[in-house]
Amino acid sequence: MIVARGMSILDRIGIGKIRVYRAPGYEISDRIAEDPEAELKRFDEALQKAIDQQGVLYEKAKEETGEESAAIFEAHQMMLEDEDLQDATREIIREQKGNAEYATKIVFDNFAQMFAEMDDPYMKARSIDLIDVKNAVLDFLTGNDAASIQGTEPVILVAEDLTPSETVRLDKSLLAGMITREGSSNSHTAILARSMNLPALVQCQGIDERWDGRMAVLDGCNGCVYVDPTPELLEDLREKRDASLGKDAVLEGLKGQKSTTLDGRTIMVSANIGGPSDLDSVLENDAEGVGLFRSEFLYLNSREEPTEEQQFAAYRRVVQTLAPQPVIIRTCDIGADKTIGYMDLDKEKNPALGFRAIRICLTRKDFFKTQLRAMLRASAYGNMGIMFPMVSSKWELVEAKAVLEECREELAREGHETGSCQVGVMIETPAAVLIADDLAEEADFFSLGTNDLTQYTCAIDRENARLDRFSDPHHPAVLRAIQMTVDAGHRHGIWVGICGELGADTSLTETFLRMGVDELSVNPASVLPLRRVIRGLDLSPVPGSP
Ligand code: PEP
Ligand code: MG
């Protein structure tokens, strides 16, 4: 049995066979195929799996975001079925005795290059699709098909690192856990794993490619993974896992109850989501609405920029399903660690301090307007709010609101219905805290993004695992910044919430409530545990205290 340690991001146990994942772009060997017939068979099988996979992705996307956004998977299927492409690949295997991976790479890359050189912008853009389908075939050839975990057995994924877009595309149905050598507890990948309620370890230095296919237990309660566990240990941890999976009767009993303290103060406990596919867990955990819909995950989950119709379908689904509960959608927070190929963003020296979030939206106005129009149209279907991320100056908020108004007027002229919606600001930069009084004049609410607020206040890169020792989520400067924001918001009669990971930290719940925080938005699995803590608090002043 091998034991390796890491930093756990969820107190849960996962059991499954290890699948080692390597990021696309890994080396393909040009070794000669000793048995071309066997290579042809491997190619045909991988090709068929990739074709089937596109069919599954088509159905899933159709269900989640509508037919229009699913069409790309149909196009991928047609590309894979193209006879010229298939014949050229088979020829390299047969004539040149190339192995299946090598032949796939050479032929698909050539076709992609041909498309890239075309004048028609539509055809040019198809070259990226060819790379996508090439990766799908290669993944099946190399057993690296992380995004489409197949079979019937639960899998623990092991990787050097996973980007937010790789994580968001994982097929969650058979995923029992995730282990990475890199990563930090506040990275978006960790946040995603938490919102998927997935046991996960980051910074696990001991991971080894040779673990592939071996049985393992990820013990998130103790921050370690056991590879080839002894039968006794496996049994013991399986029992513990099953016991913790059993419904907690006390938490179940809190469903339908308010999050009210013993002395009668009620605060909102809502959920953070990444898209319509999280709706089930919002309902299952009885959240009181959505306090943060990270809309950029729609963009990360898509091969090209989602259209107004696709976004409208996704926002409407969430808003309509949860109505009359509030749903706060944050405008696209792309940049820094959340990069998207089709956005064509320059590489930057300091991406966390660079062109991201509201800065991109205010620079690329058409891109921004597509999203705002989709949101405003969805606002007609329930109780919706919009908030802007990474604001650091008042003019940014004023300008963003002006674009929103422009969209509302356009939609009215076109005969589209829109609803009223609150407009808020995320407080994520020290600058925003210091000018909170000014921002409050233009906002209906504040939502504290404590992940970025901690990063920028303490000058600690949230993605850098080596800095975890210096990173203190309870840093007095951050707590003081929260208090200043709440005070400024309340001076101007607006509500103030927390939507960063700190909101779920129950060791701070009493502190936040005493500060006057009005709403906590947390990953869905934390809603009921948080409600339990709130209902046990008594905030009445201690006799004799000032
Ligand atoms: C935050 O910064 O706290 C936040 C909620 O936004 P994100 O984690 O997506 O940057
Ligand atoms: Mg943030």
Is the CB of 428 inside a 6 Å radius of any atom of ligand 1? yes
In this predicted structure, what is the pLDDT of residue 89?
95
Q: Which pTM was predicted?
A: 0.79
Ligand 2 centre from 449 Cα, in Å? Answer: 5
| 25 CB-near residues (< 8 Å, 6+ apart) | none
User: What amino acid positions are annotated as catalytic residues?
Assistant: 188, 499
In this predicted structure, what is the pLDDT of residue 64?
62
Closest ligand 1 atom number to CA of residue 448: 3
What angle (nearest 5°) sits at the alpha carbon of residue 500, between those of residues 217 and 311?
95
List the residue whose alpha carbon is closest to atom 8 of ligand 1.
Answer: 451
Q: Which residues are bridge partners to 332 per DSSP? A: none
β-strands 422-427, 495-498 pairing: unpaired
Name the band, by pLDDT with cuts 50, 70 and 90, for residue 438.
very high
Starting from the CA of residue 164, give the closest ligand.
1
- Find the helix packing angle between 36-65 and 83-95, rounded to 10°: 150
Ligand 2 centre from 180 Cα, in Å? Answer: 22
Is the CB of 499 inside a 6 Å radius of any atom of ligand 1? yes
Q: Give the Cα separation of 448 and 482 in Å (integer).
A: 7
Let me know: does 278 contact 317? Beta carbons within 8 Å: no
- Quick check: helix, strand or coil at residue 296? helix
Share of the chain above pLDDT 90, in %: 64
Q: Give the Cα separation of 82 and 100 in Å (integer).
A: 17
Report residue 175 as tokens: 């995923």
Looking at every residue in the chain, the average pLDDT score rounds to 90
pLDDT tens for 98-115 read 999 999 999 999 998 998
- Find the helix packing angle between 36-65 and 67-80, rounded to 10°: 170
Q: Which of 6-20, 116-130, 424-438 has the lowest mean pLDDT?
A: 116-130
Let me know: does 368 contact 362? Beta carbons within 8 Å: yes
List the residue whose alpha carbon is closest to atom 10 of ligand 1.
Answer: 452
- Quick check: helix, strand or coil at residue 198? coil
Residue 538 has pLDDT above 80, yes or no: yes
pLDDT tens for 131-181 read 888 888 988 887 765 555 555 688 999 988 887 767 777 777 788 999 998
Closest ligand 1 atom number to CA of residue 296: 9
List the residue whose alpha carbon is closest to atom 6 of ligand 1.
Answer: 449
Burial class of residue 201 (count of CB atoms within 10 Å of its CB; 0-12, 13-18, 19+) = buried
pLDDT tens for 271-310 read 999 999 899 999 999 999 999 999 999 998 777 889 999 9
Let me know: does 303 contact 72? Beta carbons within 8 Å: yes
Q: Give the Cα separation of 488 and 381 in Å (integer).
A: 32
pLDDT mean over 181-209 = 85
Task: For ligand 1, pick from 184, 451, 471, 520 the residue to mutate: most ligand atoms within 8 Å of CB.
Answer: 451
CA nearest to 517, candidates 427, 452, 443, 439: 427
Closest ligand 1 atom number to CA of residue 336: 10
Is the CB of 451 inside a 6 Å radius of any atom of ligand 1? yes
Closest ligand 1 atom number to CA of residue 294: 9
β-strands 215-219, 224-227 pairing: antiparallel
